[in-house]
Amino acid sequence: MTKYGLFSRGRDRQSSAPSGASSSAQTSSSAVARDPLQDPTKKYPKPPFSKQSQPWPGLAAKMKPRPDHGEKSYKGSGRLQGRKALVTGGDSGMGRAAAIAFAREGADVAINYLPDEDEDAREVIELIKAEGRVALAIPGDLREESFCERMVEEAVRGLGGLDILVNNAGRQQAAASILDISSEEFDATMKTNVYAPFWTIKAALPHLKPGSTIIGTTSEQAYDPSPDLYDYAQTKAAIMNYTKSLAKQLGPKGIRVNAVAPGPVWTPLQVSGGATQGKLEHFGGQTPLGRPGQPAELGSIYVQLATGDASFATGQIYGAAGGSGQP
């Protein structure tokens, strides 16, 4: 257990892994590999997972096993030095992995989350501060246009500008039938996943200088929707689509727009109504790697899309789905 009692990756697990390929890769006696060879099928927990359910929006702190967001493992190398990032849903899951990675790469980071997620958010704020970066907590509900505008203003004021915007927050509630989805629930999914990025991008745009980047989180669901994710999957298709439209609109202004399309990843979204108990037990088992992804495995993708190194990448959807799914 670490200070935060997080699921442990990094050295503890690497040293107990079978040596084989790893030791032969470390040919120089004095050189210690920074990233020793590791079998991705054995790197993280596999199904079956124990049944578990939390009230929405769920906490990473209460998941078994706890997800890895890169708390111990992500190592930065100054790739985002001095940048200013706002990450929605930055308390847990992919957003938390991105927030930690951004801070370790030298960025100041504001995170948005729901007030009920304060426990998770406080851990992220401490991790950002531990890197000597500015850490801003902006709790609030993205389903309100006025809050989206206020969030952007607070981020710009607190960070002294904005050049990376990650629209990552999302709502996913599985429903066996379209008949089980009320208009209110349908509206909540649309507001969170489609309207909030629209409002947030509109508020942020006047502050974004050439070189800035907008990153969304879409899903493999945009391409191959599950029968029980009728409302959610179509919002992910919308995110994929607006990413490509906005990239064309903002390219001439020097602002890049890209998105990440995860496959099954072990996050609170799945244990708070996103997946049925049956699905959860075998979660990720159908991928060629035989397990779900951990948020930590996607943090570097958000970094790559944000950094100036990727200056020709815009309108792109970057998949990370363990070998199946699209893109």
Interacting positions 75-104 with ligand NAD (CB under 6 A): 89, 91-95
Instruction: Decide: is 114 part of the binding site for ligand NAD (CB under 6 A).
Output: yes
Minimum CB separation of residue 262 from Mg ion in Å reads 15
- Choice among 232, 242, 302, 318 that is catalytic: 232
Angle between helix axes 196-204 and 145-159 (nearest 10 degrees) is 40
Contact segment (CB under 6 A) with ligand NAD among 4-12, 37-45, 123-131, 262-270 equals 262-270
> b vs e for 110-149, b when ≥16 Cβ sit within 10 Å of the residue's Cβ?
bbbbbeebeebbebbbebbeebebbbbbbbbebbebebbe
Interacting positions 207-226 with Mg ion (CB under 5 A): none
Rg of the chain in Å (alpha carbons): 19
Minimum CB separation of residue 46 from Mg ion in Å reads 23
Q: Which of 216, 233, 255 is nearest to 87 (CA)?
A: 216
Would you say 70 or 268 has its CB closer to Mg ion? 268
Catalytic residue status for 232: yes
Neighbours of 255 (CB within 10 A): 23
Considering only 63, 72, 74, 92, the residue that binds Mg ion (CB under 5 A) is 92
> b vs e for 208-220, b when ≥16 Cβ sit within 10 Å of the residue's Cβ?
beeebbbbbbbbb
Instruction: Decide: is 7 part of the binding site for ligand NAD (CB under 6 A).
Output: no
Minimum CB separation of residue 315 from ligand NAD in Å reads 19
**Phi-psi label, residue 82: left if phi above 0, alpha if psi -120 to 50, beta otherwise:** left
Count the site residues for ligand NAD by CB under 6 A: 30
21-50 footprint of ligand NAD as x/- string (CB under 6 A): ------------------------------
Pairing of strands 108-113, 164-167: unpaired
**Terminal CA-to-CA distance of the chain, rounded, Å?**
36
Q: How far apart are CA 146 and CA 117, in angstroms?
A: 20
Q: Which of 63, 64, 71, 62 is nearest to 9 (CA)?
A: 71
188-227 footprint of ligand NAD as x/- string (CB under 6 A): ----x------------------------x-x--------
Contacts to Mg ion by CB under 5 A: 91-92, 117, 268
- The catalytic residue positions are 232
* Interface residue list for ligand NAD (CB under 6 A): 57-58, 89, 91-95, 112-114, 117, 141-143, 168-172, 192, 217, 219, 262, 264-265, 267-270
